[in-house]
Amino acid sequence: MASVTQQQIQKFHKDGFLVLEQFFSTEECDSMRSQIQKIIAEMEVPPHCRTAFSTREEEQLQAQGSSDYFLTSGDKIRFFFEKGVLDEKGNFLIPKEKSVSKIGHALHAYDPVFKQITHSPKVQELGRKLGLERPVVVQSMYIFKQPGIGGEVTPHQDATFLHTEPLGRILGFWIALEDATQENGCLWFIPGSHTNGISRRMVRAASGASTCVEFVGSEPAYDDKQFIPLPISKGGLVLIHGEVVHKSELNSSEFSRHAFTFHVMEAKGTTWSKENWLQPTPELPFPSLY
């Protein structure tokens, strides 16, 4: 992998995202894929935990919000499913490895393969090139984007869910473990959209509320024509500014689009919001990237 240039870093600051092809080797990608297969093979899903994962606001509130399972997943390895893969009794309608939407949110802390990737020397070098002084890893996810059913992810900003004071301290690392194409649901971005702050926040609801989280503010209607697709080959890395607007479409192809993603916060001079769904715990304070 070639070293990142100052020109590329300037491009990141201008656009709010940066594509680095061939950042990880085929072997590294395959080690993550085989490790996730092992994790799924051992997966035991308690029936009450079988909440379908959704990004549409009302479903989000109902399914995730009422679910302690989601709120307490920050320091664990847990399973979230695509819609329509479980019957009303909570049994799988399709093979379980084809039913998982994502696995989160502490693979980087508890799984040796994902921990090694997250803290790999090239990731650390990139962090230093970006000028991060005290970066900590706040969460990670393995995303499947299953063939035919991998749900769309509506336009959003990561800082909606991971709020800091000041803003601009959250950075996403998104690794393609298979080629991501327009057909199988690659990421789409609005270049330069990271400079206007955020329009909504997902916060923990007051105790006694019917849901565990609620949204404050509203997502503006984004113009579809402003989004540009970012197809990327297996092993490529997309750097994502915490406030850049991005989305992905439904995967209607017959190919999955596996990705491993983690978020880093510059902890120096930064306050992590007490209202975020995700909170560090005594068992898992946010680990340092270097």
The domain that holds 211 is classified in CATH as 2.60.120.620
* Cβ–Cβ under 8 Å, residues 66 and 93: no
- Does the pLDDT at position 116 exceed 80? yes
Residues 6+ apart with CB under 8 A from 278: 74, 105, 138, 139, 161, 162
**φ and ψ of 271, to 5 deg:** -110, 125
Q: Is the pLDDT of residue 174 over 50?
A: yes
Dihedral, 110, 114, 119, 120 alpha carbons, nearest 10: 150
Query: Where residue 243 falls among pLDDT bands split at 50, 70, 90?
Result: very high
Report the pLDDT value the prediction gives residue 2, as an integer from 0 to 100.
62
What pLDDT shows up at residue 54? 55
Instruction: Indicate the average pLDDT of the chain.
Output: 91
pLDDT of residue 65: 40
Distance between CA atoms of residues 276 and 249, nearest Å: 26
Share of the chain above pLDDT 90, in %: 75
Question: Within a domain: residue 290?
Answer: no
**Cα gap 139→262, rounded to integer Å:** 6
pLDDT in the model for residue 128: 97
Determine the 3-state secondary structure of 74 from DSSP. coil
**Domain assignment of residue 284, yes or no:** no
Q: What is the pLDDT of residue 60?
A: 55
Residue 65 is encoded by which pair of tokens? Answer: 């919000």
User: Domain for residue 289, yes or no?
Assistant: no
Instruction: Please report whether residue 225 resides in a domain.
Output: yes
Do the domain assignments include residue 277? no
Number of structural domains the chain divides into:
1
Does residue 245 lie within any of the structural domains? yes
Q: Which domain holds residue 174?
A: 6-272
Q: Is 74 exposed, middle or buried (0-12, 13-18, 19+ CB in 10 A)?
A: buried
C-beta atoms surrounding 219 within 10 Å:
16
**Distance in angstroms (rounded) separating the CA atoms of residues 71 and 213:** 9
* Residue 66 confidence (pLDDT) above 50: no
Q: Cα(132)–Cα(128) distance, rounded to whole angstroms?
A: 5
Q: Is the pLDDT of residue 201 over 70?
A: yes
In a domain, 286, yes or no: no
Mean pLDDT of 149-154: 90
- The dihedral region occupied by 208, where left means phi > 0, alpha psi between -120 and 50, and beta the remainder, is left
Residue 204, token pair as written in the block? 């923990």
Q: Is residue 78 part of a domain?
A: yes
Neighbours of 216 (CB within 10 A): 12
